[in-house]
Structure 1
Amino acid sequence: MFSGAISISLDNKGRLAIPTRYRESLSEGMVCTIGLYDPCLTLYSMSEWKCIEQQLATLSTIVETERRIKRLLLGYATECLMDNSGRILLSPTLRTYAKLEKNIMFVGQSNKFEIWDEASWYQQINDDITALSSDIENLSDNLKSLTI
C-alpha cells in the first residue's frame, strides 16, 4: 500500500527519483497516465496496471463516456522503467498535461501514486479541506463509517 506526500525535484531531462522505500515494489515496471479528475498524473505498478487494462478492455466503444475514459487512460499510458539510480522518465506529453516543472509532489494513494506540480498540489489540498469542512453533513455512508 502506497501512502505519504513527498516533495521531489524533476531533473532537466524530466526524470524523477522514486523514493527508496517504494523501489522494490515498483521494480517490475510501472505505467504512468493522466489523472481523470485532477490535473495530475497517476503512476501504477505494472501488476496493478494490468488489472486496470483488463477492466478497460471490457468498456464499450459505443458508449460515449466509456469510450472517452478508455481513450484518455490508454492513450496517455506510458510504460516507465527505473534506471540504476531509481529514476523514471516522464514523457514531455505527460509533463505538459500535469504542468510539471521542477518541483513536484509524489503522493501515495493506496494502489497508485499521484504526481502533481507542487503549487497545484498545495492549492488542491486547500480546496479539498475547504470543501470538506463546508460539506461535512453530506458524507456518504462509506465515509460516515470510516474511523479516523
Structure 2
Amino acid sequence: MFRGASAINMDAKGRIAIPARYRDALRVEHAGTVIMTVDIDAACLLIYPLHEWEQIEAKLKLLSDTDPLERSFKRKLLGHAQDCELDSHGRIVIPPALRSFASLEKKTMLVGLLNKFELWEESAWQQQMDDGNALIQSQDLASNERLAHFSL
C-alpha cells in the first residue's frame, strides 16, 4: 500500500526517483513495472503497479466500443498508458507527452493513494490541496452517505 506525499525533483532526462520505501515492493511484487497514464479529471498522472493496472484494464474491457462516452473514456486512459520500468537506481522515465499533460518540469509531488500514485507538478498539487480543504470545510460530511460514519 502506498501513502504519503513526497517532493521529488525530476531530472533533465524526465526521470524521477521512486522513494526507497516503495522500491522493494515495486520490484518484488510487481517486477519493477508500473503503468503510467493521465487522470480523467485532473492535471496529474496516475501510476499503477502492473497487477493493479490489470484490474483497471479488465474494467475498461467491459466498456462499450460503440458508446461515444465509454469509447472516449477508454481512449483517454488507454491511449496515454505507458509501461515504465524501474531502473537499477529506482528511477522511472516520465514520457514527454505525459510530462506535457501534467505540466511537469523540475519540482513534482508523488502522492501515494493506497493502490496507486498520483504525480503532480508541485504548485498544482498545492492548489488542489487548498481547493480540497476548502471543499471539505464547506460541506456537511454527515450528508455524504460514505463519510457520515467515517471516523478516525
Letter in structure 1 aligned against 2:44: C
Letter in structure 2 aligned against 1:40: C
Report deviation, 1:69.
1.1
CA distance in 1, matches of 2:90, 2:82: 17
Gaps of 5+ in 2: none
CA distance in 1, matches of 2:47, 2:143: 28
Letter in structure 2 aligned against 1:49: W
CA gap of 1:50–1:118, structure 2 versus 1, over 3 A, is same
The one-character-per-residue Cα deviations of 1:58-86 (angstroms, maximum 9, x if unpaired) are 11011222111100000000000010000
Q: Is 2:141–2:147's contact at 8 Å kept on the other side of the alignment? A: no
Letter in structure 2 aligned against 1:15: R
Gaps of 5+ in 1: none
Q: Does 1:45 align with 2:52?
A: no
| 1:69 aligned residue (53, 66, 73) | 73
Q: Report sequence identity in percent.
A: 42
CA distance in 1, matches of 2:149, 2:69: 31
Report deviation, 1:39.
0.6
CA distance in 1, matches of 2:141, 2:40: 27
Report deviation, 1:137.
4.9
The one-character-per-residue Cα deviations of 1:7-31 (angstroms, maximum 9, x if unpaired) are 0000000000000010122122100
> What is the match of residue 22 of structure 1?
22
Report deviation, 1:138.
6.4
CA distance in 1, matches of 2:67, 2:142: 31
Report deviation, 1:54.
1.2
> What is the match of residue 107 of structure 2?
103
Q: Is 2:141–2:148's contact at 8 Å kept on the other side of the alignment? A: no
| Secondary structure of 1:39's aligned partner | coil
| Secondary structure of 1:54's aligned partner | helix
CA distance in 1, matches of 2:143, 2:2: 24
Alpha-carbon RMSD: 1.1
Which stretch shows the higher mean deviation, 23-32 or 137-146?
A: 137-146
CA distance in 1, matches of 2:97, 2:122: 18
Letter in structure 1 aligned against 2:77: L
CA gap of 1:139–1:21, structure 2 versus 1, over 3 A, is farther
